[in-house]
Amino acid sequence: MPVTLLGAAEIRALAADLDVTPTKKLGQNFVVDANTVRKIVHVAEVTAADRVVEVGPGLGSLTLAILETGAAVTAVEIDHRLAERLPATAASHGVAAGALTVVDADALRVTALPGDPNVLVANLPYNVSVPVLLHFMETFPGLERGVVMVQAEVGERLAAPPGSKVYGAPSVKAAWYGPWRLAGTVSRQVFWPVPNVDSVLVGFRRDLEPRGDEALRRATFQVVDAAFQQRRKMLRQALAPVLGGSSSTASAVLEAAGVDPTARGEQLTIADFVAIARTLR
């Protein structure tokens, strides 16, 4: 029996049955268009050989599109009502027993996942999208690639190159794990309720070799946070608190790392930040 997808009418009926009113707090804008969820799965290059983790499956529209490929899915859902209903919805739409595992939990607190997922696919709300992505990249090194749907502002920042107007701490921290790219736009009209902001798809692929160990990652992120705490500040000033306490000391460290002390954080690559962080060890 092939897997079938949810339609707009069924999504509304499920929400009514569960007494779920989409809330801004949880970012519950449900996708009601089958072509959109299939597009996300296609961009993520999901195959039957993959083990996918989905964060925030909601009523299951994207979940079913992933399962349609034959991939195994572990879905992490914070809303208890939605987590409890999802297996029944999947079964009624032709999903084979054992193909879907639901984890009823806050994604930001998850530290272990069944199924050893290698792909991340999700529709993430604005307020937790970056923290969730960074938490999953840090906690689950087996995640090789993925595609997430996020608000355009978030997606553009994640994929921003050095020197661009929206390049910031999230851009650098995401780049620690590998390259990120904008992978498509999503119409507001595919959501229920219709949001008042645009959404985009962002794809990532983890580097085959990690940039360093956990100690270096923490040191790098410390430098990144200091560099962007006050935007448009020269590095010798912005990094003084973490590089010896004074501008002169910070300048000496930066020069030793091959970085111009008068540069600004917005101009540095992830490799530059790592070079600075190595001097802290």
Task: Write the CATH number for 230.
Answer: 1.10.8.100
* Pairing relationship of beta strands 72-77 and 191-192 according to DSSP bridges: unpaired
Q: CB–CB of 145/122 below 8 Å?
A: no
**pTM of the full predicted structure?**
0.93
Q: Which residues of the chain have pLDDT under 50?
A: 26
- Claim to verify: residue 117 and residue 164 sit in the same structural domain: yes
Q: Is 106 annotated as a binding residue?
A: yes
Note whether 156 and 23 are same-domain residues: yes
Residues 44 and 152 in one domain: yes
**Same domain (yes/no): 177, 252:** no
> Domain holding 151: CATH number?
3.40.50.150
- The reported pLDDT for the residue numbered 22 is 65
The verdict on 227 and 152 lying in the same domain is no
218, part of any domain: yes
- The amino acid present at 104, given as its one-letter code, is D
Tell me whether residue 115 is annotated as binding: no
Q: Is 70 annotated as a binding residue?
A: no
At 48 the pLDDT is 97
Contact status, residue 154 vs residue 128, Cβ threshold 8 Å: no
Instruction: Check residue 118 and give its pLDDT.
Output: 98
Which pLDDT value is given to residue 108? 97
Kindly report the three-state secondary structure assignment for every residue of 107-157. Answer: HHHCCCCCCCCCEEEEECCCCCHHHHHHHHHHHCCCCCEEEEEEEHHHHHH
Same domain, 15 and 138: yes
Tell me: do 132 and 232 sit in the same domain. Answer: no
Asked whether residue 123 falls in the same domain as residue 151, the answer is yes
Give residue 98's pLDDT.
95
pLDDT at residue 232 in the model = 72
Q: What is the pLDDT of residue 191?
A: 86
Specify whether 165 is located in the same domain as 35: yes
Residue 1 lies in a domain: no
Does the annotation flag 35 for ligand binding?
Answer: no
Boundary of a domain, candidates 203, 235, 263: 203
**170 shares its domain with 270:** no
10: annotated binding-site residue?
no
Do 199 and 216 sit in the same domain of this protein? no
35 domain residue, yes or no: yes
Which residue segment(s) compose the domain that 50 sits in? 6-203
Domains held by the chain: number: 2
User: Which domain-ending residue is among 180, 203, 226?
Assistant: 203
Residue 59 lies in a domain: yes
Is 170 among the domain residues?
Answer: yes
Distance CA 58, CA 134 (A): 21
Residue 246's pLDDT is 86
* Residue 152 shares a structural domain with residue 255: no
209 is in an annotated binding site: no
What pLDDT does 257 receive? Answer: 94
Radius of gyration for the alpha carbons in the chain, expressed in angstroms and rounded: 21
pLDDT at 220: 98
